[in-house]
Amino acid sequence: MKTTEIRELSVKEIEERIENEKNLIFRQKMNHAISPLDNPMKIRDTRRNIARLETILRQKKNETKG
């Protein structure tokens, strides 16, 4: 997910996406512990998506305060 796509979302939608991504990374890590994933880089990509979402969420919340 690109930052331009994330910026178009509302705060509530971003929060929902963060929860979905966190659930996804949990499942990916569990599956990887049991049997190796075909592409373990997906875990890193998911982690980076979470960071992107949280950064933009924090920026949006600061904009509404200030």
Question: Region 30-43: what's the mean pLDDT?
Answer: 94
- Domain borders along the chain are 3-65
For 50-56, which contacts have Cβ atoms below 8 Å and span 24 or more sequence positions? 50/18, 50/21, 50/22, 50/25, 52/1, 52/3, 52/6, 53/1, 53/6, 53/14, 53/17, 53/18, 53/21, 54/18, 56/3, 56/6, 56/7, 56/14
pLDDT at 25: 97
pLDDT (average), residues 32-59 = 95
Q: CATH second-level architecture of 3-65?
A: Orthogonal Bundle (1.10)
